[in-house]
Amino acid sequence: MAVEIRGTYAGNLKTRLVHGPSGAEIFTAAPVDNQGDGSSFSPTDLVAGALGACMMTILGIMAERNGISMEGVEMRVVKHMTSDPRRIAELEVVLYMPPNLAPDDRLKLERGALTCPVHRSLLAEIGKPVRFVYDGEEL
């Protein structure tokens, strides 16, 4: 299925994007370290957010299919940039998982999260370490 996203340059290194099917809007701004004011997500921030959101969406699908509660599930993605050429070097993903999961359920959910289409679409050169945190365990 194809999805159209339309965009408008809004000036001052900012853009407005419109999701064709829903009409939802998001805005981007260049980051401070690349001549912008950092007032919104940068395009590469959206890539990082898309990765985390995609993995949580797949977790949700797997959880619903297996009768697992997703209450309290959160994620964090830390984006690392490099230069020459300027690009994303690494996206560190941490997924804070539901408590009290059986080992079989953990395995199902972890395997499912790694099938995320965004994760599979990113270049191999981009580091994509994923950590699953259970039962209040901290980094």
Q: What is the pLDDT along the chain (139 residues), one digit of tens a residue?
A: 899 999 999 999 999 999 999 999 999 999 999 999 999 999 999 999 999 999 999 999 999 999 999 988 999 999 999 999 999 999 999 999 988 899 999 999 999 999 999 999 999 999 999 999 998 776 4
**Three-state DSSP state, 34:** helix
117: left (phi over 0), alpha (psi -120 to 50) or beta: alpha
Q: Are residues 82 and 58 in the same domain?
A: yes
Contact criterion met (CB below 8 Å) for 95 and 101: no
Give the containing element (helix H, strand E) for 48.
helix 43-66
Domain count, the chain: 2
Q: Are residues 85 and 129 in the same domain?
A: yes
Q: What is the model's pLDDT at position 138?
A: 63
Sign of CA dihedral 104, 106, 109, 113: negative
Burial (Cβ within 10 Å: 0-12, 13-18, ≥19) of residue 64: exposed
Q: Are residues 57 and 20 in the same domain?
A: no
Q: Are residues 62 and 25 in the same domain?
A: no
- Distant-in-sequence, close-in-space partners of 95: CB < 8 Å, separation ≥ 6: 52, 55, 56, 59, 73, 74, 75, 113, 130, 131, 132, 133
Closest CA to 78 of 91, 94, 88: 91
Q: Are residues 27 and 58 in the same domain?
A: no
Q: Are residues 53 and 83 in the same domain?
A: yes
Residue 47: domain span: 43-133
Q: Are residues 104 and 54 in the same domain?
A: yes
Q: What is the model's pLDDT at position 139?
A: 47
- Whether 120 is in a domain gets the answer yes
Closest CA to 132 of 121, 107, 33: 107
Q: What is the model's pLDDT at position 76?
A: 98
